[in-house]
Structure 1
């Protein structure tokens, strides 16, 4: 079967976001990773994986930048606001609600989000009013909904994608963000197990900004999970917001070429909110 060609229009939009992402951290300067071994097979439903990586994935991250750049600092403030087990009611305090708004205010000041907003306005997917766009972003990422069987409001797009969740104590869901991965790894909660090679290449580069990882978290194993590495929070929010708003399908899969990477961007809808979103690396055109 012939492989799909990248979506040219979205590739152009996302490459402009990539160029505007001045808060992206640079490998070898702002952070270093150690990929080590290739991830092994994990049987469906199993939480046992052979550890192909004795050391951590992140060997260095410039934390002055993580805490000194506004969008990262406000992003990190949100990571402890959630009950990660599905089925547990999320109580959002006034302080946590304020932290959500401060994060959105910070990313909306960036050129990345301004360009994303301009594109969505041109396409008739968002209002030109900045406050209405902010409310739209709040609904997409922070509106609570029920994911567990209890029917309680136990999840939201931000929690699933960026923080991570556990389902019935049996599986990891989400956790596709490199900052959360690094911080959880630093505190001994994440154990990196290895990487999945991309395309026909046997080993990825340690300067790659997109990786597929295997790891354990909260006593559970995630067999494979795709993540951007080093990119800013605003870049990920902009990218997946655009994919979400450009389609009304339950599941949207878009093939794009961003910088040197050919990616499949996957977004699942949960009503007016994101259910999950993640990148799947198909190839690196520098190979």
Structure 2
């Protein structure tokens, strides 16, 4: 797909669920289960990893490569001020540059321009993305201990509890370096465990512990590209939507985007998919 295909229709501008469905279709860098990765889908707490296999060649793709470069830039404990150096600023800018060139973000930019939410100028929009996602703010204790990007795409530790950790790439990297202990899929309420996951889903609910800090359940997209998630949450943040439902293949999800106000500015506090239900027999 090209930038020419990333033009929102009048129907999509009027119906956010149609827009999110289109954004999903535009994610051509999304990975395929069984081909690019395989996951463990059991529900027990036995010691093993979520990812049996990931095709490492995907990290040569520009957005995957620049995204992965960001994952060692943060202190996970809240309350400890972050020190952002010149190299980290360059890495932030490199990621934004690559994302801005993808069809999902081109679509979101055009959508938000049509809605009067962001400037038409691409450089001005890129500066907004840097401010919203990467500017440090206070989450707990001292100032400058967190950012939207750190919380949403990496995760944090607060009072020995893991918070967020909603991105599959970061989860995979943490498993590789031994800081993440996967503890199984969390079944949906009222359904049989054996029917919960085939391993082909692009969104799952799971439990884990990061550096010993537990999280009893957390939801995450699996196999989606960095640009898709970045564009998705950016779109809904600027539209001021805290809850937005749409269907990911046969899974109904609610995309949660919480804002936070710091120094009079509205920032992204958290963003993630929440599973509402599934329809294994009918795609809806």
**Is the TM-score greater than 0.5?**
yes
Give the aligned length: 262
Q: Which has the higher contact order (CA 8 A, sep 6+)?
A: 1
Cα deviations by residue, 1:261-286 (Å, 9 ceiling, x for unpaired): 21111111123221111101112333
Task: Tell me, yes or no, if the aligned pair for 1:8 and 1:256 is still in contact at 8 Å.
Answer: no
Please state how far the C-alpha of 1:223 moved relative to its aligned partner.
0.7
Please state how far the C-alpha of 1:69 moved relative to its aligned partner.
0.5
2:6 equivalent in structure 1: none
Cα deviations by residue, 1:195-237 (Å, 9 ceiling, x for unpaired): 1223654312200000011001111110111100000011001
1:283 to 260, 277, 283: 277
Task: Tell me, yes or no, if the aligned pair for 1:165 and 1:172 is still in contact at 8 Å.
Answer: yes
User: Taking structure 1 as reference, are residues 12 and 162 closer, same or farther at Cα in structure 2, changes over 3 Å only?
Assistant: same
2:4 equivalent in structure 1: none
Determine if the alignment matches structure 1 residue 85 to structure 2 residue 77: yes
Determine if the alignment matches structure 1 residue 112 to structure 2 residue 118: no
Determine if the alignment matches structure 1 residue 36 to structure 2 residue 46: no
Determine if the alignment matches structure 1 residue 22 to structure 2 residue 28: yes
CA distance in 1, matches of 2:46, 2:17: 34
2:231 to 225, 234, 238: 238
Please state how far the C-alpha of 1:163 moved relative to its aligned partner.
1.1
Task: Tell me, yes or no, if the aligned pair for 1:11 and 1:258 is still in contact at 8 Å.
Answer: no
2:148 equivalent in structure 1: 157
Task: Tell me, yes or no, if the aligned pair for 2:202 and 2:221 is still in contact at 8 Å.
Answer: yes
- Which aligned pairs between 1:104-253 and structure 2 lie closer than 5 A? 104-150=96-142, 152-168=143-159, 170-198=160-188, 201-202=191-192, 203-247=196-240, 252-253=242-243
CA distance in 2, matches of 1:9, 1:60: 37
Task: Tell me, yes or no, if the aligned pair for 1:35 and 1:53 is still in contact at 8 Å.
Answer: no
Please state how far the C-alpha of 1:176 moved relative to its aligned partner.
0.5
Task: Tell me, yes or no, if the aligned pair for 1:87 and 1:147 is still in contact at 8 Å.
Answer: yes
Task: Tell me, yes or no, if the aligned pair for 1:143 and 1:273 is still in contact at 8 Å.
Answer: no
Secondary structure of the equivalent of 1:134?
A: helix
User: Taking structure 1 as reference, are residues 154 and 208 closer, same or farther at Cα in structure 2, changes over 3 Å only?
Assistant: same
CA distance in 2, matches of 1:213, 1:70: 28
Secondary structure of the equivalent of 1:172?
A: strand
Secondary structure of the equivalent of 1:78?
A: coil
Runs of 4+ in 1 over 3 A off after TM superposition: 198-201
CA distance in 1, matches of 2:238, 2:243: 13
Determine if the alignment matches structure 1 residue 69 to structure 2 residue 61: yes
CA RMSD in angstroms, aligned pairs only: 1.7
Moved more, 23-32 or 271-280: 271-280
Secondary structure of the equivalent of 1:256?
A: strand
1:270 equivalent in structure 2: 260
Unaligned stretches of 5+ residues in structure 1: 1-6, 38-50
Unaligned stretches of 5+ residues in structure 2: 1-12
